[in-house]
Structure 1
Amino acid sequence: MTTASKPLTEDTDPHVLPPAQAAALLEGAPWKRYAVFGDSLSVGAGDPTPGYDNLGWPARVERVLRMVEPDLRYLNTARIGATTAQALEEQAERIVAFEPDLLHVNSGANDLLRRNPDWEQIEDGLRTMYTWAAGTGAQLSVLTLGRAFVIPAFPDWTERVARLNDITRKLAREFDAVLADSWDHPLNDRENLLSEDKIHFATTGQAVLATLVLEQLAARVGTPRS
C-alpha cells in the first residue's frame, strides 16, 4: 500500500521483481514460443500508474522471457469481453498454428455476467478449454482473479469470483498448469489498484501480477525465489 508522503514506484514496490532479477530466476527455462489466450485479464488491460512502466502483465512476462531467450516468439490473442466459448471459437486456431511451448489460459470472468450463472456449464466450458490447451503440448499457466474489483449490478460478485477461482485451482491441478494466485495477495488492498472502470488492475497491479506469474514459472523451472 502506498504511503501519504511517498507512493510506491516500480523500483520501490516490494512485490515487484526487477526484470533482470526475474530473468536470473528463469535461467535455463526451456520456453521459446509464448502464447496468451483469453479475455481482458490475458490482454493485460489497465490504466497507467505513475512510477510504473505502462505495460500489462503479459508484456512484462514476455520482456523477461526474452531476456532469457532472445529468439522468443510471442503471440497474444486475448480479447476484452470474451467468454470462454467465444475465446475458443475466435482464438484456438491461431494458438494451435503458433505451436506454443508455454501457453497462458485465463477465462471465465465474462461467463459470470448473467443474472444466474450456470456453474455446471461454466466448469464444463473451462474444462473444454483446458483439454484443448493441454492438447497443444505446451506448459500451461493461469492466474486466479483478485478480490479487489466488484460489479455493482451483482451483489454476490465476490462470491462468484471466489467460486470461479476454486474451479480454476482444481483444473490447474488436474492439467498441471502453473498457478499464480492473486486472490488473497496484499495488492488487493492498494488504494490505487483499480483502473477508472473499477474492474481492471492499473499498472501497479499489472506489475505485481507479472511477478506472481514469473515466480511460479521459476518454481516450475526449479529455481525458487531467493
Structure 2
Amino acid sequence: MDELTSFVALGDSFTEGMDDPGPNGTYLGWADRLAGMISTHQPGLRYANFAIRGKMLQEIVDEQIPLAVGLKPQLVTFCGGGNDLLVPGSDPDALAEVYEIAVADLRAAGSEVLIFTGFDPKHTPFLRSLRGKIAIYNSHLWSVAERYHCRVVDLWSMSVLHDRRAWSEDRLHLSPEGHRRVALRAAEVLGFKPEDDWSTPWPPLDNEDWMTQRRHDLKWAREHVVPWIGRQLRGESMGDGLAPKRPELLVFDGLGSAEAGEAAWKSAHRA
C-alpha cells in the first residue's frame, strides 16, 4: 500500500498479543511486531492498540470502533468474533452482521481495513467441533471484505500454524513465533516483501507416543479448559478491568527489547 503513517489495531487477546511476553508485564504480539516492521521504513508511524483479551465482538464494536472512527487512521486492523464462536449456541450469521456494520463505519471514516479470518481448529481437540461454525463466519468475512474493498489475512489457510510450536500452552493463543509469522503474513498482504517467509516449515519434531499425548491433553484440559468454562459460567472475562496497552495514537516507540525488534523486522522491505 502507499506510504503508511497511522495504524490502529482493534480486537481481543489475539491482537493484544497473548502469549507473546513483552516488557513490564505486557504482551507484544503480531500487531506490535507489524508496527515495528512498518516503522523501520516509516519512522514517524503513529500506532495505537485498543485490543483487550476476552472481548466479545459487540464489546469491540461498542468500545473500540468509535475510537478508531474518531481518529481516522490510515490503516485499521480488525479481528473479532472468536470469543463469541466459543460460546454454545452462538450464531455466525448474526455475528457477521455486527462485523459488517463496524467495517462499514471504519471505511466511511476513510480508513483502510485489514480483516483476519478465524483459524482452522482441526488440530485442537477441544475446538475441532467448532470448525463448521468458524468456516461459515469466515465465508461471511470474505464477503464483507469484497463489498468494502478490504484486504484479508487468511489465518485459516496458514497451515504452518497447525504445528503445536505456533501455540502457547493454552492452545488458544499464539506463541511468540506464531505471532511473528502472522506479522510477516500481514506485512505481505499489505504489500511488503519480507525476506523471511512466514510459511517456512518448522524443524523436525520428535513424535510423542499416544500415552504422552493423552497426558498432555489431560493436563491442558485441567489447567486451561476447566478455568475457561468456570469464567464463562460466572460471566467473567480475562479482560475485566484491563485498559488497552497502547491507548493513544502516538509515534511508535519500539517493541521494548532488541531481541523482539530484530525478530519483528530484521529483513523485510517494501515490494
Which of residues 138, 148, 162 is equivalent to 2:111?
138
Aligned equivalent of 1:43? 16
The two structures have a TM-score, normalised by structure 1, of 0.76
Corresponding position of 2:149:
176
Equivalent position SS for 1:35 = strand
1:147 to 120, 130, 134: 120
Q: Which moved more, 1:168-177 or 1:185-194?
A: 185-194
Shift of 1:139: 0.8
1:194 aligns with 2:164: no
Structure 1 residues 67 and 225, CA gap change in structure 2 (3 angstroms): closer
In structure 2, stretches of 5+ residues that fail to align are 22-26, 193-268
Does 2:77 match 1:104?
yes
| Aligned partners of 2:16 and 2:28 also within 8 Å | no
In structure 2, which of residues 132, 136, 159 is the aligned counterpart of residue 163 of structure 1?
136
Q: Aligned in 2, Cα 1:30/1:187: closer, same or farther, shift over 3 Å?
A: same
Instruction: Please list the CA deviations of residues 63-88 of structure 1 after superposition, one character each: whole Å capped at 9, or x if unmatched.
Output: 11111211110011011111111011
Do structure 1's residue 116 and structure 2's residue 81 form an aligned pair? no
Alignment pair present for 1:62 and 2:65: no
CA distance in 2, matches of 1:135, 1:189: 36
TM-score normalized by the length of structure 2: 0.64
Query: 1:120 offset after TM fit, Å?
Result: 3.0
One-letter code aligned to 1:128: I
Q: How many residues align?
A: 190
> Does residue 1:126 correspond to 2:99, yes or no?
yes
Deviation at 1:94, TM superposition (A): 2.0
What SS does the aligned partner of 1:103 have?
strand
Structure 1 or 2: more helix by fraction:
2
Between the aligned partners of 1:131 and 1:167, the Cα distance in structure 2 is: 14
Alignment match of 2:179 (pick from 206, 209, 214): 206
Contact kept, 8 Å, 1:47 with 1:196, in 2: the verdict is no
The 8 Å contact of residues 57 and 81 in structure 2, kept in 1 or not, is answered as: yes
Q: Give me the identity figure in percent.
A: 23
Decide whether the 8 Å contact of 1:143 with 1:213 is kept in 2.
Answer: no
Q: Measure, in 2, the Cα distance between the counterparts of 1:186 and 1:155.
A: 15
Contact 1:151 1:157 in 2 (8 A): no
State the AA in 2 paired with 1:134.
Answer: R
Question: Which of 74, 88, 91 in structure 1 is aligned with 2:61?
Answer: 88
Larger gyration radius, structure 1 or structure 2? 2
Q: Distance in 1 between matches of 2:141 and 2:98?
A: 12
Q: Relative to structure 1, is the Cα distance of residues 155 and 64 closer, same or farther in structure 2, using a 3 angstrom cutoff?
A: closer
Relative to structure 1, the CA distance from residue 151 to residue 43 in structure 2 (aligned partners, 3 Å threshold; closer, same or farther) is: farther
Return the offset for 1:225: 8.4
Structure 1 position 32, deviation (Å):
0.5
Gaps of 5+ in 1: 1-25, 49-53
Offset, 1:47: 4.3
1:12-68 Cα shifts (integer Å, max 9, x gaps): xxxxxxxxxxxxxx7xx32111001111222122246xxxxx841101110111112
CA contact (8 A) 1:193 1:201 kept: yes
- Following TM superposition, by how much is the alpha carbon of 1:103 offset from its aligned partner in structure 2, in angstroms? 0.6
